[in-house]
Amino acid sequence: MKSVMKLGVVLAALTVTLPALAQEESRYLFTDVAVWDGTADALQPSMNVLVEGNKVTQISDSIVAGNATVIEGNGRTLMPGLIDMHTHVMFPQGIPAHETEWVAATSGALAHQTFSQYLKMGFTTLRDMCGPANLAKAISAGILSGPRLYSSGGCIGTTGAHTDWGPQTDNLGDVSNHTRARNSWVVNSPDEVRAAARQNFRDGATFLKVMVGGGVASAFDPLESITISPAELRAAVEVAEQFDSYVCIHVYHTAHINMALDQGVTCIEHGFLMDEKTMRRMVREDIVLSAQAYMSYTAFQDPAGIPGFGPEQVAKGLMVNKGADQMFAWAKEHGVEMFAGSDMFTYDAVPNATLNITQLERWFTPVEALRASTSTAGKYLMQTGPKNPYKEAQLGTLVEGSYADVILVDGNPLESTEVLADYENNIDMVMVNGVVEVDNR
């Protein structure tokens, strides 16, 4: 009798779970949309786009709706969701406040606000450049809603470098709140770099970020200082290669970039103070540039207003601002491979993330600025090896078979990306992984 009852309990459990397993995939049909595929120079007008489950399955001028939910485009643009390749979600109140005021749990809760804001703006994928990769895992597991998150894990640097966010009173070996939160590691030998790098991949990182030169926002590192040895940097590259991925470096100056390229680094963040010869070397060696046009060119025109910036940070910001115009001119002239990352490091700044795309139009065409924020970004997200949680389809493109990460835009961003900046009026729907996350129609 007892065992029969047990069986009854098991059967009852099965009847609850089986219908969920057999649930049909959701189907959406976008009708009469002008499709931008993430790469082409022009829109394809009057198309229909079918989404089944989490993929785009058909793009054609004649698809029958069947049982799909119809979303009338009325001539609006359907394009891949935007990708921000350099942002910070774990210290939205500024780096100093998250050292002294907020513990990791609070920072994580606040990150969710950032995710919601990004979704409203049409960003469907983010790269978090200093933060616990564990957060990305919660999203890829479907537990936490938000844009897809690719995480560097804690960014890696040495004592006094751009990851050393502890107070001035810290002694050698003291562990900062940022390190407790796994936002950043302070390490001082090739072995310690290896340990931090492996910890990141253990947590779910898909690539690494290493600080090679001084930073604008940090306290102890002049921009001119190289803050890591070649052997330490090489150790990070070796670990990344073991995970079939790569190292992106925080860097500004020519000598620093060249040292890093000699050690096998393939991804340059910032780089605003490089010379032309170095830009040519990057092109020759297929090195990708991660571009922060808004932060370097617009925000650092007047850095005094940035929260947490003292006189030293202001001086460093102005230096970067001076270099950025020339660096982007060379990037255009020599045709370096480039993706866009806004480098928003406070919550209040996040609404400016789209301006990183519009600001690129100072040097590039609108379609070039858009590729940097969609298909080129997606290409480098795909090259992150077995730890990549989203490797079954392409990101940053809108073609048959790509992930259903799309935005419905009132206007033509290929004429001017400004249309994306007014997201409240012009971004009418945001879909991530086949799920409608924002609907303003």
Q: Which residue is nearest to Zn ion (CB)?
A: 343
Residue 128 in contact with Zn ion, rule: CB under 5 A:
no
In this structure, the strands spanning 27-35 and 44-52 are: antiparallel
Stretch that binds Zn ion, among 72-80, 122-130, 131-139, 374-382 (CB under 5 A): 122-130
Residue 428: C-alpha distances to residues 60, 70, 73, 254, 389 (Å): 22, 15, 10, 43, 28
Q: How far is the CB of 242 from Zn ion (least distance, A)?
A: 25
Q: How far is the CB of 377 from Zn ion (least distance, A)?
A: 16
Helix (H) or strand (E) holding 178: helix 177-180
Residue 164 in contact with Zn ion, rule: CB under 5 A:
no
Of 129 and 320, which CB lies nearer to Zn ion in the complex structure?
129
Stretch that binds Zn ion, among 106-114, 120-128, 129-137, 424-432 (CB under 5 A): 129-137
Quote the tokens at residue 104.
């990791």
Q: How far is the CB of 341 from Zn ion (least distance, A)?
A: 8
Residue 84 in contact with Zn ion, rule: CB under 5 A:
no
* Total residues binding Zn ion (CB under 5 A): 2
Q: How far is the CB of 218 from Zn ion (least distance, A)?
A: 10
Task: Give the C-alpha separation, 203 to 3, whole Å.
Answer: 42
First to last CA, the chain: 58
Task: Give the C-alpha separation, 83 to 395, whole Å.
Answer: 9
| E strands present in 74-227 | 77-80, 82-87, 123-128, 148-151, 155-157, 184-186, 208-211
Q: Convert residues 373-412 into a mask of x (bound to Zn ion by CB under 5 A) and - (unbound).
A: ----------------------------------------
Q: How far is the CB of 209 from Zn ion (least distance, A)?
A: 8
DSSP state of 40: -
Comparing CA positions, the residue from 117, 34, 42, 41 lying closest to residue 78 is 34
Paired with 33 in beta bridges are: 47
Show the DSSP H helices in 204-343 as ranges: 230-242, 254-262, 276-284, 293, 311-334
Q: How far is the CB of 260 from Zn ion (least distance, A)?
A: 16
Stretch that binds Zn ion, among 92-100, 123-131, 194-202, 418-426 (CB under 5 A): 123-131
Of 184 and 354, which CB lies nearer to Zn ion in the complex structure?
184
What φ, ψ does residue 211 adopt, rounded to 5°?
A: -90, 115
Of 182 and 194, which CB lies nearer to Zn ion in the complex structure?
182
Comparing CA positions, the residue from 89, 101, 190, 97 lying closest to residue 132 is 89
Q: How far is the CB of 129 from Zn ion (least distance, A)?
A: 5
Of 130 and 407, which CB lies nearer to Zn ion in the complex structure?
130
CB 59 within 8 A of CB 30: no
Of 343 and 437, which CB lies nearer to Zn ion in the complex structure?
343
Q: How far is the CB of 270 from Zn ion (least distance, A)?
A: 8
Q: Convert residues 300-319 into a mask of x (bound to Zn ion by CB under 5 A) and - (unbound).
A: --------------------
Stretch that binds Zn ion, among 1-9, 27-35, 37-45, 125-133 (CB under 5 A): 125-133
Task: Give the C-alpha separation, 318 to 31, whole Å.
Answer: 48
Rounded CA Rg of the chain: 23
Of 99 and 343, which CB lies nearer to Zn ion in the complex structure?
343
Q: How far is the CB of 331 from Zn ion (least distance, A)?
A: 18
What is the DSSP annotation of 103-140? -HHHHHHHHHHHHHHHHHTTEEEEEESSS-HHHHHHHH
Q: How far is the CB of 163 from Zn ion (least distance, A)?
A: 11
Site for Zn ion in 331-350 (CB under 5 A): 343
Residue 37 in contact with Zn ion, rule: CB under 5 A:
no
Of 36 and 246, which CB lies nearer to Zn ion in the complex structure?
246
Residues that bind Zn ion (CB under 5 A): 129, 343
